[in-house]
Amino acid sequence: MNKGEIMNKNTMIRGTILLTSATFFSKFLGMIYTIPFESLVGATGGKLYGLAYGPYTIFISLSTIGIPLAVSKFVAKYNSLGDYQTSHRMYKLALRLMMVTGVLSFLALFIGAKWLAGIYIPDNSEGITVEDVAMVIRMVSFALIIIPPMSITRGFFQGHQSMGPTAISQVIEQIVRISFLLISVYIVINVFKGSITTAVGFATFSAFIGAAASAVVLVWYWRKRQRHLNKYIDNQSIVSVPMTNQELFKELLSYAGPFVFVGLAIPLYQQIDAITFMRTLANLDYSQAVIDNSFSTINLYGHKLIMIPITLATGMSLSALPTLTKSYVDRNRDLLFRQINQSLQIIMLLILPAVIGMSLLSTEIWGAFYSVNEYTPLNADLLSWYAPVALFFALFTVSSSILQGINQQRFAIYSLVLGLVLKSILNVPLLNWLGPTGAVVATGLASFATVAANLWCIKTAINFSLKQLFKRTLLMSIFSGLMAIAVIVMKYIVNFFVTYQDGRLANIFILLITVTAGAGVYLLLSYHSTLIERVVGSRIRFLDRIFNR
């Protein structure tokens, strides 16, 4: 491996660690806030919140039309060619476009809120009304004005392999958003004795407040680094390729299209649930309380829990794309294959044991984060089924990013369409057969199909061998199985003294004991077999000190 390859690899790892850490911290905050939020608004408020955030997330993807990550790829490509002027020019054009699409999306969601609410709420529904859902959708729509241009700036920095602005702005956005959310909800309910609908409306409006804070951070970074970025243009060694605005947008949109669909994957699965879940279960004579608890688990409370391992994949895909693109453009086949293998194997190494552990300890996890009540077994059972789906979501995110890096972005669309078709076909029959669990099973089968399709395309497009991935995944599965045995045995022993029914502190205690035992077994086996070293590509110094190696 030459010096340039080592630097590229180190850049990828540093960027991955920084962005993954920031994204993980942001998602962790996004999970933690649901604990007090759930105690304030309950399952009904969670259901209302989830119904509002579904269309909002879709409109975010449509308003940005995949351009932020496409700009990241575009900038990385032209910087690699030495044409910094073209990448800088594209950023300015894309920024103007995002300002326009953000305003248009805000108007569309704000005006169409009542129509969307009518789709979600069946005529025989109890509790939440169409007007309630429409109000919270309108409140969250204001964030669409800021987020598209903000996201473009993040993409530009990432294209320069500068992950700091994105990382810091993400963290600030989340801290400000959650602070406003919890304070406003508490004041509405406990001070002004307002309704849950009003409280949830302010909770969704927090997206606008957080986005505004993030935008301020990015403007500060831009002013601080503008002189440094301009030096690239001034010292450019090649003559800039004369491209019209139309040609620039044509190339950018060719990258952007698949990013839209990748970002829409989870929200679209949730929208299928939002349309079919309540109607199907109501026709099966499920109680409104069971419907509300099940839907809020799948769309908000349980979903936040499984997003923690998915976050690892998100950080990986965002930071890996520019370096993958550069290796592909430079036709450095060996480095490209190593980067692809590393991206996929790190996801398997970290997320496979995490989702298995989450499934086994779903009751204790739910009891530790949320209240223990008569619906805890129902919610925990849904979480145990939902946890493995996180692995497929993560692999879909990373494999789609790889496809975009090797100019196979169109296939990411085809695989997602395959998943959505399967979800649409399977959802109602599985809901009728398995009840609320059927929606989770349908999502799992659909997301597995998208991952299998993506891996097949990567293999055939660049003649990439999946042999090493499968061999190491088998070893990880064996270690995860041994870890599972340790968790089950330890849980069995601990349950002689305390159970999940003893309250939140008891569940935290059970988790501390069982997770420590399980993680210790998995880490010990992975370290001494040199699996971690082979996957990461280097020795892990702090593990060497722990195991005295």
Residue 544 corresponds to which tokens in the numbers above?
């060497």
Write the CB contacts of 150 (distance below 8 Å, at least 6 apart in sequence): 169, 211, 214, 215, 218
* 232 band by pLDDT with thresholds 50, 70 and 90: low
- pLDDT range class, residue 159, cuts 50, 70, 90: confident
Distance of alpha carbon 280 from the chain centroid: 28
- Contact criterion met (CB below 8 Å) for 343 and 191: no
Contacts of 195 (CB under 8 A, 6+ apart): none
- Residue whose token pair is 């085809």: 414
CA atoms of 409 and 403, how far apart (whole Å): 5
Amino acid at residue number 148:
P
pLDDT tens readout for residues 119-153: 888 776 677 889 999 999 999 999 999 998 888 88
* DSSP label of 239: P
Mean model confidence pLDDT for the chain? 85
Q: Which residue has the tokens 């002689």?
A: 496
Q: CA 484 to CA 481: how far, in whole Å?
A: 5
241 or 44, greater pLDDT: 44
What is the model's pLDDT at position 547? Answer: 67
The pLDDT of residue 3 is: 42
Question: pLDDT tens across 386-413, in order?
Answer: 999 999 999 998 898 888 778 887 888 8
Count of H-run helices and E-run strands, the chain = 21, 0
- Percent of the chain's residues with pLDDT above 90: 46
pLDDT tens digit sequence for 300-329: 899 888 887 777 656 655 566 667 777 787
Give Cα 530 to chain centroid, integer Å. Answer: 29
Could you tell me what percent of the chain has a pLDDT over 70?
Answer: 85
- Kindly report which listed range (149-153, 277-281, 419-423) carries the lowest average pLDDT score: 149-153
Q: What Cα–Cα distance (Å) separates residue 3 from each residue in 7, 16, 159, 213, 391?
A: 6, 20, 22, 40, 34
Read off the amino acid at residue 423: K
Query: Rounded to an integer, what distance in angstroms lies between the CA atom of residue 228 and that of residue 222?
Result: 10
What's the average model confidence in pLDDT over 337-341? 87
Q: Name the band, by pLDDT with cuts 50, 70 and 90, for residue 536.
A: confident
**519-528: per-residue pLDDT in tens?**
999 999 998 8
Distance, in Å, from the CA atom of 303 to the CA atom of 307, rounded to the nearest integer, reads 6
Burial of 123 (0-12, 13-18, 19+ CB in 10 A): exposed
Query: In 10 A of CB 418, how many CB atoms?
Result: 15
CA nearest neighbour of 476 among 521, 443, 515: 521
> Mind listing the pLDDT tens digit for each residue in 170-221?
899 999 999 999 999 999 999 999 999 999 999 999 999 999 999 999 999 8
